Amino acid sequence: MKITRRAMTAGMTAALSFTNVARATEYFTPEAVKRQLFPEATSFDDATFVLSKAQIKAISKQSRTRVRFEKVSLYRAVNADETIGFAVIDEVYGKHEFITYAIGLTPDRAVKQIEIMRYLETYGGEVRNPAWRAQFADKRAGDVLTVKKDIANISGATLSCVHIAEGVRRVLATLELAYAG
């Protein structure tokens, strides 16, 4: 039986149509995620800051994870001239691609909630599940925040789970050690 080029191309096209294709999925813009985290806010003040080398070293040590970026994207949520919380936009590796996420923090810097803003991986999107993200609520700098200890793992999304937990731990250490506001 001879297979023609046209039949081979049609077969390959059909096979590819059943595979998962990774494509960028943006769930929130920076403005939309701040509103999601703090719907009661009347404004958001940009409080972005740059870490010194000494701060990076201290944060890496406390969080047990590498600080990849000097710049911290921080926004102060305000209602009636009162700080009602902070939003931090951060990025971590999944397995192969970056995951952009945001953390909402209370005025005393406990995690209020996290939201996945952009997910590029083919697998592991279950980290967007509200029940999984809810595990981070009320966590503070110094908490363990380790997958399989106090953060549940998701089969098929292990690296995404680990890296998001590390990112939250790093952000909490960053605000404790480097942000005076």
Cα separation, 112 vs 37, in Å, equals: 8
Residue 1 resides in a domain:
no
Q: What is the pLDDT of residue 16?
A: 39
Residue 16 resides in a domain:
no
66, two tokens: 């590498």
Amino acid at 100: T
Cα separation, 145 vs 123, in Å, equals: 22
pLDDT band at 25 (very low <50, low <70, confident <90, very high): confident
74, two tokens: 């921080």
Residue 108 resides in a domain:
yes
Amino acid at 23: R
Residue 12 resides in a domain:
no
Q: What is the pLDDT of residue 180?
A: 82
Higher pLDDT, 117 or 123: 117
Higher pLDDT, 145 or 7: 145
Has residue 17 got a pLDDT over 50? no
Residue 52 resides in a domain:
yes
Name the pTM for this structure. Answer: 0.85
Residue 14 resides in a domain:
no
pLDDT 10s digits, 141-172: 999 999 999 999 999 899 999 999 999 999 99
Residue 39 resides in a domain:
yes
Q: What percent of the chain has pLDDT over 70?
A: 87
Structural domain including 54 reads: 22-178
Q: What is the pLDDT of residue 90?
A: 98
pLDDT 10s digits, 50-97: 999 999 999 999 999 999 999 999 999 999 999 999 999 999 998 889
Domain count, the chain: 1
Residue 36 resides in a domain:
yes
